[in-house]
Amino acid sequence: MSEPLLEAEGLRKSFSGVAALVDGRFRLRAGSVHALCGGNGAGKSTFLKILMGIHARDAGEVRLRGRPVAFSSPSEALAAGISIIEQELSPVPAMTVAENIYLGREPIGRFGRVDFENMNIAAAALLERLRFVLAPTDLMMDLSVAEVQLVEIAKALSYDSDVIIMDEPTSALGEHEADHLFQAISALKAEGKGIVYVSHRLSEIFDIADDYTVFRDGRFVEAGDLADVSKDRLVQLIVGRKLSEEFVKENVPRDEIALSVEGLASRNGVRDVAFEARRGEILGFYGLMGSGRTEIFERLFGLAHEHAGEIRIGGEKVMLRSPADAISAGLAFVTEDRKGSGLVLTEDVRANICLARLGALGFGPVMSRRREADAAERMIAMFDIKTASDRLGVVNLSGGNQQKVVLGKWFLTEPRILLLDEPTRGVDVGAKREIYRIMSDFAAAGGTVLLVSSEVDEVLGMADRVVVMRDGRMAGTISGADMNAQNLLHLAT
């Protein structure tokens, strides 16, 4: 076997005496895509941060083309030919796409002026090659999260590095954009580059990766050829033991209609949306980015400025002009952006769980610490939230546990209708299953779930019927035997 492009052995790192990484090992071949797998807290992020020179390692060795290296900053790593697409996006909002891509290495023209013309031309060529539909002169602040992620990807690829680390690059992308990324990855592979691919979406890994390495609890567990491993086996390696079915679905729709919507309209050209959801039902919403799925939820939850359309809950017409209206009508909304609109990151677990139900946790305007603590304790137990205490800041929790805090916040309001917008994004395999279990139990108990997801498998695995959106309108509703990936994608594009 030829010399590996990048090799790491025995990497070790502790924070304040607590080990985050005990034995990090990795071998990346040139011209391959190598999936780095593990649950939240497995040590992947720490490992990547050591590679990029963000953290200093306590022990171990990293070799790039056989030569030992130790970077002390990301710019050193970049100079040596390692670039990263980070999970957390960090755009400069007031600058253009091209300026963001070439940030810190702008082409200089005469008199030290930035050569905007050539920069825009280079950026356009890069975007064209990647088949990303973005104009170099668009301002970052006008872009959606998915488009910002595409720019980050373009930026990382523009360095022409030999090793490209992709940390959850598709977390904000729809199927369509993700396909463009995968094509770009194939091209890079053909050029002999090495790609380290981190994703919680296993189907993606099996689609594009060649090799795998699994970390668990900060330790290297196993590495090998993906062709030699089954999905079940890989999940077992990641979680540490066997999981049964991937999806949990035990709910059965009843006859009673819980929610009916007619003539709904909202921003982004969402028009003429009409559907019914029954008690005990999980109704899926599928569509490409910008097709209007999230806007429907915002309208239902009183967050939209437009109020066109008729909404009935349990047969009664309701006006939902604010989230407070929606909450008292029995709705709960787990938003797509956990950190942006789900959690108050400056606060602890207890405060976040109680946030939507403060009125019932005190006596008039005065809060009762006892009731707040009891409520938090109940939700922590109900969702098995892994936290040292309910007074711990939510920033300290893993993605899956943070998502469960958001779910706890909403279950405390005793909702009848649950709006879930990408509820498993950035959540590891184990926590995903728990969220599926929560959804299924809620529906089985007579609740109604509206589920927006970009993952075809998830929609097909969890929903009883699927509303497919295209360009702000309903392209169709599929159910029963028609529920397959082909029909979904056909209607959505």
Partner 1 sequence: MSSVVEKEREPVVGEKTKRRATSAAQRWGILIALVVVCVALSLLNEYFLTTRNILNVLRQTAINGILAIGLTFVILARGIDLSVGSVVALAGVVAASLATTSSTAMVAGGPYPVVLALAAGLLVGAAAGAVNGVVVARFSVPAFVATLGMLSIARGLTLLYVDGRPVPALTPEFRWIGTGDVLGVPMPVVIFGLVFLVSWWVLSQTRFGRHVYAAGGNPHAATVSGIDVTRIRLLVFVISGALAGLAGMMLAARTGSALPQAGVAYELDAIAAVVIGGTSLAGGVGRVTGTLIGALLIGVVNNGLDLMGVESYYQLVIKGMLIVAAVMLDQSRNKRE
Closer Cβ to partner 1, 4 or 39, answer by number: 39
Cβ closest to partner 1, residue 44 vs residue 155:
44
Nearer to partner 1, 43 or 284 (CB): 43
C-beta of 162 vs 421, nearer to partner 1: 421
Identity of the residue, 188 or 438, whose beta carbon is nearer to partner 1 in the bound complex: 438
CB nearer to partner 1: pick between 94 and 227: 94
> Hey, what are 51's tokens?
């590679």
Q: What is the DSSP string of 108-169?
A: B-GGG-B-HHHHHHHHHHHHHHHT----TTSBGGGS-HHHHHHHHHHHHHHT--SEEEEEST
Is 279 within 8 Å of 303 (Cβ atoms)? Answer: no
Residue nearer to partner 1 on the CB measure, 433 or 465: 433
- CB of residue 101 vs partner 1: minimum separation in angstroms? 28
| Binding positions for partner 1, rule: CB under 8 A | 14-16, 18-20, 39-41, 45-46, 216-218, 239-241, 243, 301, 303, 322-324, 326-327, 333, 335, 337, 340-348, 351, 354-356, 358-359, 362, 365-367, 382-384, 386-388, 392-393, 395-398, 400, 409, 428, 430-431, 433-434, 437-438, 441
Give me the half-sphere count of Cα atoms (radius 13 Å) on the Cβ side of residue 408: 30
- The residue among 312 and 386 lying less far from partner 1, judged by its C-beta, is 386
* Residues 65, 3: Cα–Cα separation, whole Å: 7
Strand partners, 418: 332, 449
Residue 137 token pair: 């002169």
CA atoms of 204 and 418, how far apart (whole Å)? 28
DSSP 368-396: -HHHHHHHHHHHHHHHT---S-TTSBGGG
Tokens in use for 129? 């090659």
Burial 279-299 (b: 16+ CB within 10 A, else e): bbbbbbbbbbbbbbbbbbbbb
Give whichever of 49 and 201 is closer to partner 1, judged by the CB atom: 49
Q: Measured from the CB of residue 250, what is the shortest distance to partner 1 in angstroms?
A: 13
Listing DSSP states for 88-122 in one string gives: S----TTSBHHHHHTTT---B-GGG-B-HHHHHHH
Taking the complex as a whole, the smallest distance from the CB of residue 315 to partner 1 amounts, in Å, to: 24
Q: Least separation, in Å, of the C-beta of 208 and partner 1? A: 26
Give the whole-angstrom CA distance, residue 187 versus residue 134: 20
SS3 category, 288? coil
Q: Are 429 and 202 in contact (CB under 8 A)?
A: yes
